[in-house]
Chain A
């Protein structure tokens, strides 16, 4: 099989299906991951994300469909070109950090000396060099997560799959991981990111794929998705009586507290048209109009789909 991908695509998933005892875990998923982008793989718990990730990583095989990698001449999976940080975190707790890093890097084809050198460098970056020869069990949970992150990128893969990298981290470490992921992108690495922290996904990802009950729900550029969603969010600080907003035909939803109102405009409503309805009725102190947050789109779509299924 010849690689059917252009170099700008790192990964292409084509009509992939996976069944478990009659249940469709992944139901006809197709997507492309561009080289050098941060791609968000989103979905509620049990949506099929982990199954899809396991198939990308060759841990399980699709029942049908193709998964093609551009970095391989025949399009096949090449473990040394891929890194993986699994959702279920764990390392050999009775082994040393150094031994574990070198072992996992060796499995990816890295020479031991090189693995040691790079491991020490990364641990220094994360201020963990003092733990290099300590046993994993002596590290805190956050430290272990950092070590596992290092293990996933030590061999400098072309594609790294990060499954819930922010889970269980405090805000400081979440910010650190956010910076590290951006740094990986700056080196040209392609990042496939699965996370539930929508604000971080929104901040990091170029494109996203939303999966629910094994089926594709949303796919594409994040900004375009938001634009196409068409419901602008308005935050308004005002003086006067804003009760008329509740009857407005342009407003889908409104919440008024004292002199502040938060509104969602109906799909297709131009912000200018809404602003016209305010003139002369309210004294506006501050107004912001934004595209809806990803969190809202996610919840709306997943709830809607689940309702349809029922």
Chain B
């Protein structure tokens, strides 16, 4: 155990001081922040820029139309010139579109729309103009106006029309804190998602670190000195522990940066993130979070052991090892996320139950299922037992493969060789 910890200590601190790691850890969040900032700026800029649509109003609804378009990007401006002149203005960019409402609009329920210009893709489609849809907001506003007009003609008062336009509202009443439960399960689901993504992220990062570390020690032959001092199991476990801790620290730094940005930046965009955060705390289901952490830790060790074995058995070419790791290690844990819709609708579906007992997918699937609904205690117990046994078995098996594989230079192991090493 002492040697495992020495190895973990070495891997952790030496990689922490590595320039590439520092750059990746601190530059990545900055790049992410930059991207988020750009998206935010573009969105707010586009919100400020209203689009003016010229309107040839044959029915006199321009005021009502503008009123219904409030809150959207569009506003209409009544024009009195002939259509051909407006089209010319359109081409010059004076308007963003032209809407023509003939005097027969309420009877025909048809309007014409001419956009400012056709985009490259729109021009590429050599079909008629009907394929180019008018802005959704304008279509919706016109539909509402024609509906109100129709109802008024049918004899309804303006109060009745307003009441009908308001739509149906369903009030949810609850007994014995069902609302609190609902809020809690929503928050738990969010946390479950975060933990699954964190597991993916940490596994991916530590996989890269383990792969780099094993390849380097194979290439520079330091591995022979190490193996004369510590067992292959201690070497492998040390790497898994040390580099896992490092990947965890990296994820923690990224998560902290994210939280800081949310809590500090939230109020600037009108989101009381501090208040929301404080309100969430009472709804946290700590027993479930503890269970998630158990799944998380065991899941990490299982996947990291697989990764270490794969790294040791492939040739000195990091690309081939990386591809194998991708296929073996990334796909099974991502399965629960791919089946998310089914998990939400039917968390007790037989297929999901079966996947829950497939160890590489167990953490993600069980975390998600327990967050969505109540899972029976025997399923939790059995999945934990299977995961624990397979993690222990995988660590032993990976240790055997690692012990031999790490001394094979310049070639990848065949399946036959792997089988022989595993039996040794």
A188 to B216 Cα, complex, angstroms: 36
Cβ contact within 8 Å between B226 and A107: yes
User: Is A82 part of the contact surface with B, judged by Cβ < 8 Å?
Assistant: yes
**Segment of A30-38, A57-65, A122-130, A288-296 in the binding face:** A57-65
Cβ contact within 8 Å between A59 and B229: no
Q: Which of A93, A106, A107 has the most CB of B within 10 A?
A: A107
Give the residue name and chain of the B residue nearest to A151 (CB): B225
Which one, B10, B18, B216, B227, contacts A59 given CB within 8 A?
B227
Q: Which of B7, B216, B222 has the most CB of A within 10 A?
A: B222
A90 to B225 Cα, complex, angstroms: 9
Give the residue name and chain of the B residue nearest to A105 (CB): B229
Chain B residues closer than 8 Å to A94, beta-carbon distance: 18
Give the residue name and chain of the A residue nearest to B224 (CB): A86
Which one, A54, A57, A82, A89, contacts B221 given CB within 8 A?
A89
Contacting B at CB under 8 A, from A286-309, are none
User: Is A103 part of the contact surface with B, judged by Cβ < 8 Å?
Assistant: yes
Cβ contact within 8 Å between A79 and B6: no
Q: What's the tally of chain B residues with a CB closer than 8 Å to chain A?
A: 20
Contacting B at CB under 8 A, from A74-111, are 79, 82, 84, 86, 88-95, 99, 103-104, 106-108
Give the residue name and chain of the A residue nearest to B216 (CB): A92
Give the residue name and chain of the A residue nearest to B3 (CB): A107
Chain B residues closer than 8 Å to A104, beta-carbon distance: 225, 229
Contacting B at CB under 8 A, from A132-151, are 148, 151
User: Is B69 part of the contact surface with A, judged by Cβ < 8 Å?
Assistant: no
Cβ contact within 8 Å between B221 and A90: yes
Mask for A210-250, Cβ within 8 A of B = 1, else 0?
Answer: 00000000000000000000000000000000000000000
Cβ contact within 8 Å between A91 and B229: no
Chain A residues closer than 8 Å to B228, beta-carbon distance: 57-59, 79, 82, 84, 86
Chain A's interface size range is 20 to 34
Known: A60-B407, A92-B216. A99 touches B14 (CB 8 A): yes
Give the residue name and chain of the B residue nearest to A85 (CB): B225
Cβ contact within 8 Å between A103 and B10: yes
A257 to B14 Cα, complex, angstroms: 63
Q: What is the CB-to-nearest-CB distance from A105 to chain B, in angstroms, rounded to a whole number? A: 10
Chain A residues closer than 8 Å to B227, beta-carbon distance: 57-59
Chain B residues closer than 8 Å to A103, beta-carbon distance: 6, 10
Q: What is the CB-to-nearest-CB distance from B423 to chain A, in angstroms, rounded to a whole number? A: 14
A84 to B226 Cα, complex, angstroms: 10
Known: A104-B229, A107-B230. A90 touches B222 (CB 8 A): yes
Known: A84-B224, A107-B226, A107-B229. A59 touches B407 (CB 8 A): yes
Chain A residues closer than 8 Å to B219, beta-carbon distance: 90
A222 to B341 Cα, complex, angstroms: 79
Residue ranges of B at the interface with A (Cβ–Cβ < 8 Å) = 3, 6-7, 10, 14, 18, 216, 219-222, 224-230, 404, 407
Residue ranges of A at the interface with B (Cβ–Cβ < 8 Å) = 54, 57-60, 79, 82, 84, 86, 88-95, 99, 103-104, 106-108, 148, 151-152
3 A-B pairs closest in CB distance: A90-B220, A88-B221, A90-B221
A-B contact pairs, 19 of them (CB 8 A): A54-B224, A58-B227, A58-B228, A60-B407, A79-B228, A79-B230, A82-B228, A84-B225, A86-B221, A86-B224, A86-B225, A90-B219, A90-B220, A92-B216, A95-B14, A99-B14, A107-B6, A107-B226, A151-B225
